Amino acid sequence: MPLSRQTLRTHVSGLRAELGVDVCTLYLADPAERSLEIVATDGLSDGAIGARLSYDQGLTGKVARTDGPVAARDIQRHPEYFHIEGSDEEQHKSYLGIPLHHDGALLGVLVVQTREKKTFFARDIKALYSVGRTLVDELTETLKQAG
């Protein structure tokens, strides 16, 4: 049984509060299609749910493509910025995204954003990886229990 959108939203809302950011968004990966889909967000417009982008699009695609963290202090000025129509993300300035793995495979990308320009430091990246691991563990356990 797949996780409900509400369960995923609850997870990202908790992470947003824990990290003290304005946006937390979970993208799930489709490695066969080399694409990412927004499955949960707290801070972006609900109209963004279901939006897809390829691994070649935007900062989030770069996270998937490079399999590493990506940070930007001013996302609109970043050469790889890609606007997701209907997301209302244009009000946010800074970005940090990390890849999420399960059993060595890319599961998705976890992204946080802030309205004010922010420089993300190593401690911020470590904190996001920490909550990202917790999120993957919780999601994996929920899937196991569902059968």
Q: What is the pLDDT of residues 53-73, one digit of tens each?
A: 999 999 999 999 999 999 999
What is residue 39's three-state secondary structure? strand
User: Of 108, 5, 112, 132, whose CA–CA distance to 53 is shortest?
Assistant: 108
What one-letter code names the amino acid at 93?
Answer: K
Please tell me the class of the 5-146 domain.
alpha beta
Number of other CB atoms surrounding residue 97 within 10 Å: 28
Tell me the C-alpha distance between 57 and 133, whole Å: 24
Domain boundaries, the chain: 5-146
Q: How many residues does the chain have?
A: 147
Q: Where are the beta strands (DSSP E) in 48-104?
A: 52-54, 70-72, 94-102
Q: What pTM was estimated for this model as a whole?
A: 0.92
Mean pLDDT of 104-125: 94
User: Of 101, 9, 3, whose CA–CA distance to 46 is shortest?
Assistant: 9
Q: What is the pLDDT of residues 34-48, one digit of tens each?
A: 999 999 999 999 889
Q: Name the DSSP letter for residue 22.
A: S
Please state the three-class secondary structure of 90-146 as a single string: HHCCEEEEEEEEECCEEEEEEEEEECCCCCCCHHHHHHHHHHHHHHHHHHHHHHHHH
Residue with the bigger pLDDT between 1 and 87: it is 87
Mean confidence (pLDDT) of the chain = 90
Please report which confidence band the pLDDT of residue 88 belongs to, taking 50, 70 and 90 as the band edges: confident
